[in-house]
């Protein structure tokens, strides 16, 4: 075996990996329907598809978390059996999960060493592991402190730990499941530098993303999955973003919505020098001031954990304001209970919709009236008016195109996009005065995203004040009239849409204020 | 009187008795620590202790071998642990409720066996005190720390051992990871099920020893429900100790020392009503817990069944 | 998770302090939860078919919080029933029991069951059963109930009340203890400062004080009827404090007796004969002979009187007996003092002043 077969980590390359005729059935669903997919050494192969298209299923089969009902996997032309993550790790396959598979309370070295045999038998050999981590970090340009605890690290750093974990285990082929979803533009750039280096060194990468421009930028080939079937694989240079979007959805999509002119009116929501506490690890708010007017969308940009969640929660009455004021239509609503804010027509689309926006065990219909169930016409004298609730929820299901077998289906059995539609339907049906939308399209596929964005713009046309919190800069730029950037619990700056560029926002998100620095 | 509390005899008495009282807590709570570290809440400790106490007593009495009795208690505890592991790991049962179920099983079963096999309260000759040469001759200290029976020494050796296993071995790393983020552990090829089976069975064994330490080392009798809620206190001590063996040791000692202190308070006729005196260990423990509100969180996956999913 | 800590601590408190302050009898610490009610009829239940014109046997059911072999309160009742059966014959007297009924609701259900089944006498052997009995008894006017230990019949015509004058036996034990102590320090291990245990201990203290005012009696209530470990440490504490004679009430004292034996200190028992646990050191036990009272009650029931009276088991009527341990060599003169004290209490020449 010649030197060139080796990767810098010392591992032999995987020249080619093929998945042939992979079929996987779940009760009632054909998640993967005779799918062919392949990756070669030295390429980034992007895998595109809407939620539920079967990307995750396919990759989980490759990583040994699921077992296919049919089909085979070949490495360098030889059939292999992968029945557990251990098997795939041993074959040189690594996976960077969308939700990091890291133990927050352990150190980097401990996370890397977990599950591996130790050179000292029963005892851990963390010092040796740390040394090797530093070596690998040098080779691939991933700076990381092996003795740091995961909870101390930024999201971008945590992702590097995930990559190191895979490399440490000798991964020749890496699956990156939506790796950019949680990163700042700068961090995305850094990740791409690392990815390019790895490809140059002979690794094969599978890149899963919703963001078409990233796919176009980084990948060599792109495959599109829809409804469990492979639509096609092309060299990236031969396709346009529009082609890819159409293939994914199966129809023509206009994916930059038409914003139209803002009809900015009177201030509806004012946040004045607000302070609040935080959960462990992230800053709370430290003197945040902003205002959202009628007919306007104010976008809140920032890297996850810089106070976005706290901002949404303080306004929604879920977190105690320790200083400052929140005004709703000129009236002080600081620290009022959520029920009172509902009365005043504030709507909240929470970030963790499964946890905060929904009761999983309740039916679609029950979730639809969660906010107003105690009022006419949904209840009288303390009794629920089931007829009215049914009629109302059927109407919303139709209007918001919620894909559900019936209104009596339990919410937990629906997909993320449909759950978001239910929350959205409930929150905007009554045409609120103010909407707080926290990460409203996170985890949604293009079709659902398009729909949610349209609805927010529709609300804006109707004169509602919308506060849009999103970590997706494209979304912020596509929807907002003005953009506020949060950094460590403070507003770095508020810029008009016309003046905003991804680069400028990216610097603000990283805590750098170009004008202030220059001046 | 109050001043008598500070005499040497009394201080030695309090410390020696505190150390004896803490022994069953230590075994049970260290065992529970392993379980909780791996994400399994076992509320059946009390039941495991009772069956362990009975098994140890009965075998020691009938065979005359204390070691065989101890071994039987460990086997019984392990079997209870095995059943608990099956119910919680394979069947994904709600851990709190199934733990209470195991408690009731141990309580009823030990009572039934006691009725059928013994019929009346009897005594055995338990593990004798072992006087550690030289050390046991140190005035005061010798009596407190180096004149105890083997199971008391064992309990105290268990603390550093448990710390070592949890923090310095690959097994300990797996246990901690499985209790914090089983998905992450699973994705790295660590078997969540096997790890939890191990810790629950280990917890069962140690609970069995805890029971044996009462029936054949410290008290040398068996009576129905003789553990009297001690197993539940042990579970609370794991929280008190913030899931660290040293913290568990601190909690067990604090609770036991206050308990032996209140015994002396009554004996010395310190004018405190007995009802208040017997509340002291609980009150003080709760106060310390409140005062030292620790930043340490429970293992994130505690009491959550693990199922490989999306 | 914090909430959970409170939950566990509270649970622990409840379990360990089980029995509740109101529990006069050694409360229920052997809840055969999985098998309760453990109903057994040790008597020959088959009807004597050949006997000529057999009278219906007298049928008694008893519900008790602890176990029939607890060497204490529960056992005293069970032994009494066995003795009555021996005396009257199995063909004339049958009894069944439910033990471990520490949950009052379960006990109430059992009491009602027995009444429904037509038992002649249903005994609620635990002071905590009172309010249940008060509700049940009026529904079964034909059935007689007995409740102890108490003097309260609730003014109902079908409830008998019974109690023990445990201070009398306690007094005798106290006199003996004062005579035998050399260190002039005596230790007492009690459960919760209430009811029968308190009565015994107060009597014991009075006996010691009347005999030798220089002897110090240290009393330790451990707050539990079941915490064997704490009872045993309490005994150790007494011994460290110089006690060479100990006594104690309720079923958790088995732990204490063991420690007394290790230290070669003397032990006085109550409620049941505890000599079997430590033959070398148990001097005497105050034993309840409920049969004395039960026989009276049975006689009344057979004559058609179903309740409304209360009874006290004491030294005079033989409901209480001081049983000496034959294995312990009690000096003749001390034994004589004991007998004299018993006689004095019976004829009224000795009066017991309780605090």
In this model, does residue B211 exceed pLDDT 60? yes
In this model, does residue A168 exceed pLDDT 60? yes
Same domain (yes/no): C302, C325? no
Is B76 within a domain? yes
pLDDT band at B2 (very low <50, low <70, confident <90, very high): low
Q: What residues of B are in contact with residue C66 (Cβ under 8 Å)?
A: 224
In this model, does residue A1 exceed pLDDT 70? no
pLDDT for the residue C68: 86
Domain that holds residue B45: 23-228
pLDDT for the residue C49: 45
pLDDT band at C4 (very low <50, low <70, confident <90, very high): very low
**Distance from B215 to chain C by nearest Cα, in Å?**
9
B170 to A113: CB separation less than 8 angstroms, yes or no: yes
Q: For tokens 């800053």, what's the residue?
A: A283
What's chain B's Rg over C-alpha atoms? 20
pLDDT for the residue A283: 60
In this model, does residue C181 exceed pLDDT 80? yes
pLDDT band at A280 (very low <50, low <70, confident <90, very high): low
pLDDT for the residue A415: 72
pLDDT for the residue C188: 96
Beta bridge partners of C163: C312
Same domain (yes/no): C175, C128? no
**Distance from B58 to chain A by nearest Cα, in Å?**
37
Range with lowest mean pLDDT among A230-244, B263-277, C298-312: B263-277
Mean pLDDT to the nearest integer, A201-226 = 90
pLDDT band at A98 (very low <50, low <70, confident <90, very high): confident
Mean pLDDT to the nearest integer, B152-180 = 95
Asked if B24 reaches chain C (Cβ–Cβ under 8 Å), the answer is yes
Asked if C236 reaches chain B (Cβ–Cβ under 8 Å), the answer is yes
In this model, does residue C204 exceed pLDDT 80? yes
Is C89 within a domain? yes
pLDDT for the residue B304: 85
Averaged confidence pLDDT in chain A: 86
Using CA coordinates, name the residue in chain B closest to C222. Answer: B278
Pick from A82, A90, A105, A113 the residue to mutate for testing the B interface (most B CBs within 10 Å).
A105
What's the CA gap between C226 and C252, in Å, rounded? 5
Three-class secondary structure of residue B119 per DSSP: coil
pLDDT 10s digits, C86-140: 999 988 999 999 988 878 898 999 999 999 999 999 999 988 898 899 999 999 9
Q: For tokens 């034996």, what's the residue?
A: C261
**Distance from C142 to chain B by nearest Cα, in Å?**
34
B121 to C71: CB separation less than 8 angstroms, yes or no: yes
User: Is chain C touching chain A, with at least 3 CB–CB pairs below 8 Å?
Assistant: no
Count Cβ–Cβ pairs < 8 Å, chain B vs chain C: 190
User: Is there a contact between A417 and A331 (Cβ–Cβ < 8 Å)?
Assistant: no
Same domain (yes/no): C99, C140? yes
**Distance from C63 to chain B by nearest Cα, in Å?**
17
In this model, does residue B109 exceed pLDDT 60? yes
Residues 201-220 on B with a CB inside 8 Å of C are 214, 218-220
Using CA coordinates, name the residue in chain C closest to B14. Answer: C237
**Distance from B305 to chain C by nearest Cα, in Å?**
16
pLDDT for the residue C40: 44
CATH number at residue C341: 3.40.50.2300
Is B66 within a domain? yes
Calculate ∠ Cα C106-C131-C152, nearest 5°.
130
pLDDT for the residue C50: 45
Three-class secondary structure of residue B108 per DSSP: helix
Asked if B125 reaches chain C (Cβ–Cβ under 8 Å), the answer is no
Of B104, B214, B273, nearest to C34 by CB-CB distance is B104
Same domain (yes/no): C246, C182? yes
Side-chain half-sphere exposure of B294, counting CA atoms within 13 A: 17
Between A236 and C151, whose confidence is greater?
A: A236
What's the CA gap between B22 and B43, in Å, rounded? 19
Asked if B239 reaches chain C (Cβ–Cβ under 8 Å), the answer is yes
What's the CA gap between B104 and A295, in Å, rounded? 63
Between C88 and C30, whose confidence is greater?
A: C88
User: Is chain B touching chain C, with at least 3 CB–CB pairs below 8 Å?
Assistant: yes
**In the numeric block, which tokens belong to residue C93?**
């007297």
Same domain (yes/no): C210, C327? yes
pLDDT band at C260 (very low <50, low <70, confident <90, very high): very high
Using CA coordinates, name the residue in chain C closest to B120. Answer: C69
Percent of chain A with pLDDT over 90: 39
Nearest Cα neighbor of B225 from C40, C5, C19 is C19
pLDDT for the residue A511: 79
Quick one: how many helices (H) and strands (E) in chain B? 12, 2
Is B282 within a domain? no
Three-class secondary structure of residue B21 per DSSP: helix
**In the numeric block, which tokens belong to residue A472?**
């997706």
Q: How many domains, chain B?
A: 1
**Distance from B135 to chain A by nearest Cα, in Å?**
32
**In the numeric block, which tokens belong to residue C218?**
């240290």
What's the CA gap between C227 and C192, in Å, rounded? 11
Measuring CA to CA, how many Å separate C19 from each of B30, C65, C129, C136, C224? Answer: 29, 9, 12, 22, 7
pLDDT for the residue A255: 53
pLDDT band at A515 (very low <50, low <70, confident <90, very high): low
Same domain (yes/no): C280, C300? no
Is C188 within a domain? yes
- Predicted TM-score (pTM) of the model is 0.76
Is B303 within a domain? no
What's the CA gap between A141 and A325, in Å, rounded? 46
What's the CA gap between A73 and A21, in Å, rounded? 9
pLDDT for the residue C54: 53
- Asked if the peptide bond before residue A96 counts as cis, ω within 30 degrees of 0, the response is no
User: Is there a contact between C1 and B298 (Cβ–Cβ < 8 Å)?
Assistant: yes
Same domain (yes/no): C199, C143? no
Averaged confidence pLDDT in chain B: 90
Of B221, B232, B279, nearest to C8 by CB-CB distance is B232
Helix (H) or strand (E) holding A15: none
Q: Is the dihedral of CA A333, A339, A344, A345 positive or negative?
A: positive
Between C24 and B231, whose confidence is greater?
A: B231
Measuring CA to CA, how many Å separate C320 from each of B69, C170, C290, C316? Answer: 39, 11, 8, 8
User: Would strands C58-63 and C121-125 be described as parallel, antiparallel, or unpaired?
Assistant: parallel
Buried-state track A233-270, b at ≥16 Cβ within 10 A, e below 16: eeebeebeeeebbbbbbeeeeebeeebeebeeeeebbb
User: Is there a contact between C249 and C44 (Cβ–Cβ < 8 Å)?
Assistant: no
pLDDT 10s digits, C125-139: 988 898 899 999 999
Long-range Cβ contacts of A5-11 (<8 Å, 24+ apart): A7/A172, A7/A201, A7/A202, A7/A203, A8/A139, A8/A140, A8/A201, A9/A136, A9/A139, A9/A167, A9/A170, A10/A170, A11/A92, A11/A170, A11/A171, A11/A172
What's the CA gap between A130 and A145, in Å, rounded? 9
Range with lowest mean pLDDT among A61-65, A293-297, C102-106: C102-106
Percent of chain C with pLDDT over 70: 85
Top-confidence range, A243-252, A506-515, C210-219: C210-219
Same domain (yes/no): C235, C155? no
pLDDT for the residue A281: 53
**Distance from A396 to chain B by nearest Cα, in Å?**
28
Mean pLDDT to the nearest integer, A288-312 = 89
**In the numeric block, which tokens belong to residue A327?**
């005004």
User: Is there a contact between B23 and B216 (Cβ–Cβ < 8 Å)?
Assistant: no
pLDDT 10s digits, B138-148: 887 888 888 89
Q: For tokens 């001031």, what's the residue?
A: A289
By CB neighbour count within 10 A (0-12 exposed, 13-18 middle, 19+ buried), where does A118 fall?
middle
What's the CA gap between A248 and C63, in Å, rounded? 75
Measuring CA to CA, how many Å separate A113 from each of A100, A146, B8? Answer: 16, 11, 52
Three-class secondary structure of residue A492 per DSSP: strand
Is B36 within a domain? yes
pLDDT 10s digits, A408-443: 888 877 777 778 888 888 888 878 899 999 988 876
Is B258 within a domain? no
Is B17 within a domain? no
Q: In this structure, what are the phi and psi dihedrals at residue A134, rounded to the nearest 5 degrees?
A: -65, -40
Of B188, B308, B310, nearest to A114 by CB-CB distance is B188
Of C66, C222, C237, nearest to B17 by CB-CB distance is C237
pLDDT band at C12 (very low <50, low <70, confident <90, very high): very low
Same domain (yes/no): C76, C127? yes
Q: What residues of B are in contact with residue A122 (Cβ under 8 Å)?
A: 169-171
Range with lowest mean pLDDT among A114-123, C41-50, C183-192: C41-50
Domain that holds residue C247: 166-288+319-347
Give Cα A167 to chain centroid, integer Å.
24
pLDDT for the residue A517: 54
What's the CA gap between A298 and A468, in Å, rounded? 6
**In the numeric block, which tokens belong to residue B8?**
């040497």
**Distance from C350 to chain B by nearest Cα, in Å?**
28
Of B224, B274, B279, nearest to C30 by CB-CB distance is B224
Residues 6+ apart with CB under 8 A from C321: C286, C287, C289, C315
pLDDT for the residue B144: 84
Q: What residues of B are in contact with residue A111 (Cβ under 8 Å)?
A: 177, 184
User: Is there a contact between A155 and A304 (Cβ–Cβ < 8 Å)?
Assistant: yes
Long-range Cβ contacts of A27-31 (<8 Å, 24+ apart): A29/A228, A30/A228, A31/A57, A31/A228
In this model, does residue C29 exceed pLDDT 80? no
Same domain (yes/no): C197, C328? yes
Q: B170-180 and B192-213 are packed helices; what angle lies between their axes, rounded to 10 degrees?
A: 100
Between C314 and A281, whose confidence is greater?
A: C314
User: Is there a contact between A400 and A421 (Cβ–Cβ < 8 Å)?
Assistant: yes
In this model, does residue B309 exceed pLDDT 80? no
Nearest Cα neighbor of A97 from A194, A5, A163 is A163
Pick from C9, C102, C260 the residue to mutate for testing the B interface (most B CBs within 10 Å).
C9
Q: For tokens 């980084």, what's the residue?
A: A218
Helices (H), B214-273: 230-240, 245-267
User: Is there a contact between C187 and C238 (Cβ–Cβ < 8 Å)?
Assistant: yes
pLDDT for the residue C168: 94
Same domain (yes/no): C284, C174? yes
pLDDT 10s digits, C139-170: 999 999 999 888 888 889 999 999 999 999 99
pLDDT band at A236 (very low <50, low <70, confident <90, very high): very high
Q: How many domains, chain C?
A: 2
Is C230 within a domain? yes
Of A63, A101, A118, nearest to B184 by CB-CB distance is A101
**In the numeric block, which tokens belong to residue C257?**
């007796």
Is C39 within a domain? no
User: Is there a contact between B267 and C187 (Cβ–Cβ < 8 Å)?
Assistant: yes
Mean pLDDT to the nearest integer, A80-105 = 90
Chain A residues whose C-beta sits inside 8 Å of any chain B C-beta: 56, 63, 65, 84-86, 89, 95, 97, 99-106, 110-111, 113-118, 122-124, 165
pLDDT for the residue C16: 43
């Amino acid at each position: 075996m010649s030197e060139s077969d080796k990767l810098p980590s010392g591992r032999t390359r995987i020249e080619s990996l093929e998945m042939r005729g992979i079929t996987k059935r779940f009760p009632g669903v054909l998640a993967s329907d005779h799918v062919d997919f392949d990756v070669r050494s030295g390429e980034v192969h992007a895998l595109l598809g809407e939620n539920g298209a079967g990307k995750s299923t396919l990759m989980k089969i490759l990583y040994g978390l699921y077992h296919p009902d049919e089909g085979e996997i070949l490495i360098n032309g030889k059939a292999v059996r992968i029945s557990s993550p251990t098997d795939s790790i041993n074959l040189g396959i690594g996976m960077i999960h969308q939700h990091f598979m890291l133990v927050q309370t352990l150190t980097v070295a401990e996370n890397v060493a977990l599950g591996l045999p130790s050179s000292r038998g029963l005892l851990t050999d963390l010092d040796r592991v740390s040394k090797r981590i530093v070596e690998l970090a040098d080779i691939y340009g991933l700076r990381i402190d092996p003795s740091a605890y995961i909870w101390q690290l930024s999201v971008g750093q945590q992702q590097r730990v995930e990559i190191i974990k895979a490399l440490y285990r000798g991964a020749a082929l890496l699956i990156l499941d939506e790796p950019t979803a949680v990163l700042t533009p700068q961090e995305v750039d850094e990740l791409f530098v690392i990815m390019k280096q790895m490809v140059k060194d002979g690794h094969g990468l599978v890149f899963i993303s919703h963001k078409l421009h990233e796919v176009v930028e980084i990948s060599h080939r792109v495959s599109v999955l829809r409804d469990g079937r492979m639509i096609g694989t092309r060299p990236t240079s031969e396709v346009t973003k529009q082609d890819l979007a159409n293939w994914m959805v199966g129809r023509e999509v206009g994916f930059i919505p038409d914003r139209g002119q803002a009809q900015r009116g009177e201030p509806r929501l004012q946040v004045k020098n607000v302070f609040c506490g935080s959960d462990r690890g992230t800053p709370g708010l430290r003197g945040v001031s902003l205002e959202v007017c009628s007919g306007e969308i104010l976008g809140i940009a920032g890297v996850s954990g810089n106070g976005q969640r706290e901002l949404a929660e303080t306004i929604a009455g879920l977190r105690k304001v320790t200083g400052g004021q929140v005004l709703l239509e000129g009236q002080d609503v600081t620290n009022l209970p959520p029920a009172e804010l509902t009365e005043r027509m504030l709507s909240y689309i929470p970030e963790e919709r499964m946890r905060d926006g929904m009761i999983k065990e309740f039916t679609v219909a029950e979730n639809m009236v969660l906010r107003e169930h105690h009022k006419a016409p949904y209840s009288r004298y303390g009794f629920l008016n089931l007829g009215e609730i049914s009629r109302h929820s059927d109407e919303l299901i139709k209007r918001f195109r919620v894909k559900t077998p019936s209104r009596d289906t339990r919410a937990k059995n629906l997909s993320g996009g449909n759950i978001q539609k239910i929350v959205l339907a409930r929150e905007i049906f009554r045409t609120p005065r103010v909407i707080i939308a926290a990460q409203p399209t996170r985890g949604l596929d293009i079709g659902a995203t398009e729909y949610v964005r349209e609805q927010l713009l529709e609300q804006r046309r109707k004169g509602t004040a919308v506060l849009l919190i999103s970590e997706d800069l494209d979304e912020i730029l596509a929807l907002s009239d003005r953009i506020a950037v949060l950094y460590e619990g403070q507003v770095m700056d508020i810029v008009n849409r016309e003046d905003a560029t991804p680069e400028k926002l990216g610097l603000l998100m990283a805590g750098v204020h170009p004008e202030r620095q220059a001046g | 009187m109050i001043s008598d509390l500070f005499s040497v005899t009394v201080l030695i008495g309090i410390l020696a008795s505190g150390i004896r009282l803490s022994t069953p807590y230590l075994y049970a709570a260290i065992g529970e620590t392993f379980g909780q570290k791996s994400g399994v809440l076992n509320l059946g400790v009390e039941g495991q202790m009772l069956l362990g106490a009975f098994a140890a007593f009965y075998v020691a009495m009938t065979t005359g071998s204390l070691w065989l009795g101890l071994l039987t208690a460990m086997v019984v505890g392990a079997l209870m642990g095995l059943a608990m592991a099956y119910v919680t790991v394979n069947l994904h049962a709600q851990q709190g409720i199934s733990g209470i179920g195991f408690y009731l099983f141990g309580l009823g079963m030990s009572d039934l066996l006691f009725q059928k096999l013994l019929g009346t309260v009897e005594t055995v000759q338990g593990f004798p005190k072992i006087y550690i040469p030289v050390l046991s001759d140190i005035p005061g200290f010798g009596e407190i720390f180096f004149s105890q029976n083997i199971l008391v020494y064992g309990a105290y050796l268990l603390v550093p051992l448990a710390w070592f296993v949890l923090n310095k071995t690959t097994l300990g790393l797996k246990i901690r990871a499985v209790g914090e983020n089983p998905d992450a552990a699973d994705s790295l090829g660590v078997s969540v099920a096997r790890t939890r089976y191990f810790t629950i069975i280990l917890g069962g064994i140690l609970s069995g020893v805890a029971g044996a330490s009462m029936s054949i080392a410290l008290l040398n009798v068996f009576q129905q429900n003789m553990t009297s809620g001690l197993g539940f206190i042990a579970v609370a001590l794991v929280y008190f100790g913030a899931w660290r063996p040293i913290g568990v040791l601190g909690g067990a000692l604090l609770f036991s020392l206050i308990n032996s202190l209140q015994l002396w308070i009554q004996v010395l006729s310190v004018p405190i009503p007995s009802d208040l005196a017997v509340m002291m260990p609980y009150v003080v423990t709760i106060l310390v817990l409140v005062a030292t509100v620790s930043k340490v969180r429970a293992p994130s996956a505690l009491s959550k069944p693990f199922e490989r999913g999306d | 998770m914090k909430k959970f800590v409170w939950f566990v601590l509270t649970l622990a408190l409840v379990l360990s302090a089980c029995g509740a302050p109101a529990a006069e009898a050694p409360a229920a610490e052997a809840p055969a939860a999985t098998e309760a009610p453990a109903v057994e009829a040790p008597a020959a239940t088959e009807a004597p078919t050949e006997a000529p014109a057999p009278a219906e046997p007298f049928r008694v059911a008893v519900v008790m919080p602890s176990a029939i072999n607890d060497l204490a309160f529960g056992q005293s009742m069970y032994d009494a029933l066995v003795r009555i059966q021996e005396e009257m014959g199995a063909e004339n007297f049958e009894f069944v029991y439910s033990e471990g009924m520490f949950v009052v609701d379960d006990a109430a259900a059992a009491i009602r069951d027995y009444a429904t089944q037509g038992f002649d006498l249903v005994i609620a052997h635990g002071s905590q059963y009172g309010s249940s009995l008060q509700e049940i008894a009026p529904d079964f006017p034909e059935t007689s109930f007995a409740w102890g230990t108490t003097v309260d019949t609730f003014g109902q015509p079908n409830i008998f009340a019974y109690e023990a004058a445990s201070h009398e036996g306690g007094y005798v034990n106290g006199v003996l203890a004062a005579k035998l102590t050399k260190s002039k320090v005596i230790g007492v291990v009690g459960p919760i400062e209430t009811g029968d245990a308190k009565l015994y201990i107060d009597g014991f203290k009075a006996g010691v004080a009347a005999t030798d005012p220089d002897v110090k009696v240290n009393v330790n209530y451990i707050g539990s009827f079941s915490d064997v470990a704490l009872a045993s440490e309490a005994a150790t504490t007494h011994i460290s404090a110089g006690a060479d004679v100990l006594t104690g009430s309720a079923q958790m004292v088995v732990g204490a007796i063991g420690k007394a034996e290790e230290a070669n200190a003397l032990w006085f028992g109550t409620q049941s004969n505890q000599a079997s646990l430590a033959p070398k050191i148990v001097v005497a036990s105050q034993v309840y002979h409920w049969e004395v009272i039960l026989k009276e009650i049975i006689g009344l029931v057979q004559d058609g009187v179903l309740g409304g009276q209360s009874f006290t088991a004491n030294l005079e009527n033989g409901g209480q007996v001081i049983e000496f341990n034959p294995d312990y060599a009690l000096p003749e003169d001390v034994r004589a003092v004991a007998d004299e004290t018993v006689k004095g209490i019976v004829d009224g020449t000795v009066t017991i002043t309780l605090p």
